[in-house]
Amino acid sequence: MIKTLRVSDKGQISLPVSIREKLGISRGDDLILFEVDGKLLLEKQEKVKDDVKDILKFSEQSLKEIWNNPEDEIWGNYIK
């Protein structure tokens, strides 16, 4: 779905009813705005909390692989 929004003098936008209904966004819901490579992403805060759990788990696993790599001398030199 593509909609055109206009930004008010105060920097506000209105989400169309059809999008709010489709995504289950109600008055008072908290939304999080992300800027990635000059693009905006808006998500309900509840959805982000669930997604962040997966991201944190993946990040932790990735960092363990990097930090536990005996061939990586950078960390050893940094600690000295």
pLDDT at 51: 62
| Dist. CA 79–CA 41, nearest whole Å | 38
Whole-prediction pTM: 0.52
Q: What is the pLDDT of residues 30-80, one digit of tens each?
A: 888 888 889 988 888 776 666 666 666 666 666 676 666 666 666 556 655
| Dist. CA 69–CA 74, nearest whole Å | 10
Q: What is the pLDDT of residues 11-24, one digit of tens each?
A: 999 999 999 999 99
